[in-house]
Amino acid sequence: MTPKIQISNEKKLVGKRMTMSYADYRIGQLWGSFMPRRKEITNGLSNDLISMVVYQPSHFIDFKPTNEFERWAAMEVDNFDHVPNEMETYTLPAGLYAVFLYKGTSTDIASFYQNIFTVWLPNSAYALDERAHFEVLGEKYKNNDLSSEEEIWIPIKEK
């Protein structure tokens, strides 16, 4: 588990968001409402989908499965001139990220994340930063397929 350490430029995102917790995880409902309408986003920079999470600053300090967060289903756009009805905008600031490549189904992703936060991060030269986390679901992403690939972007700062 060796990530690329990379600076991300600012990203303009358009999509749908939903407040949830890991105890009440409704990601299927969120993506189910977004996917049929994604073609309405006419100024996307690519066909990649962005799955983003905005955590409260205390989320990982006092972690409980009932802690709420915002989950986004979105696409990166070049501007906010054409935002479809019932969709929202988010500006993801530039910053330093640890970028992990995940291969496989969503069944094993929880243990992959657990390794990031309990093994890699504590043993790295970095600490978690208070910016949004996101996954890039690109052309190699295939929902619940063993050959699926996605990039996991974890916001970091030097310790």
| Cβ partners under 8 Å of residue 70, min gap 6 | 17, 18, 19, 53, 54
| Domain harbouring 88, CATH code | 3.20.80.10
DSSP letter, residue 106:
G
Q: Which residues on neighbouring strands pair with residue 51, listed in sequence order?
A: 73, 135
Model-level pTM?
0.94
Task: Give the domain range for residue 121.
Answer: 4-158
Report the distance separating Cα 131 and Cα 13, nearest Å.
Answer: 14
- Maximum alpha-carbon separation in the chain: 45
Report the distance separating Cα 40 and Cα 32, nearest Å.
Answer: 15
Q: What's the domain count of the chain?
A: 1
Helices (H), 46-153: 109-115
Residue 38 phi/psi, 5-degree rounding, is -60, -30
Each of the 159 residues of the chain gets a pLDDT tens digit; together they read 899 999 999 999 999 999 999 999 999 999 999 999 999 999 999 999 999 999 998 898 888 999 999 999 999 999 999 999 999 999 999 999 999 999 998 888 889 999 999 999 999 999 999 999 999 999 999 987 888 999 999 999 999
Report the distance separating Cα 19 and Cα 33, nearest Å.
Answer: 14
Report the distance separating Cα 79 and Cα 52, nearest Å.
Answer: 18
CA-wise closest residue to 12 among 48, 51, 45, 54: 45
Token couple for 62: 């006092």
